[in-house]
């Protein structure tokens, strides 16, 4: 990394290049998806807040115990578990591309 790149990053001015193989949770679990599959929450952010989950990255989601996250998914959506919810969101996203 050059000094200029480091300086820009430290100043918060460096733009992130999006990975075309990575889709953010906000895109996968958009408001339309959440409204369609839940009567109690209208956004993925609201879904996480209702479960008292502090999530800022994929790693944060991966660190949530499976049993705890599966119970929250089953309680707040029409999915039985996180894997079903994730797989459906991924399929719907891929079908719209």
pLDDT tens string 56-78 = 887 888 899 999 999 999 999 99
Mean pLDDT over each residue of the chain, to the nearest integer = 83
Q: What is the pTM of this model?
A: 0.74
Q: Identify which of 29, 33, 18, 32 has the alpha carbon closest to the alpha carbon of residue 53.
A: 29
- Percent of all residues in the chain with a pLDDT value above 90, rounded to a whole number: 57
């Amino acid at each position: 990394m050059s000094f200029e790149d480091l300086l820009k990053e430290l100043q918060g001015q460096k733009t992130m290049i999006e990975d075309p193989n990575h889709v953010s949770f906000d895109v996968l679990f958009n408001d339309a998806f959440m409204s369609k599959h839940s009567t109690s929450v209208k956004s993925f952010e609201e879904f996480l807040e209702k479960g008292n989950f502090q999530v800022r990255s994929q790693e944060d989601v991966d660190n949530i115990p499976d049993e705890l996250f599966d119970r929250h998914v089953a309680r707040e959506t029409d999915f039985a578990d996180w894997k079903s919810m994730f797989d459906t969101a991924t399929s719907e996203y891929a079908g719209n591309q």
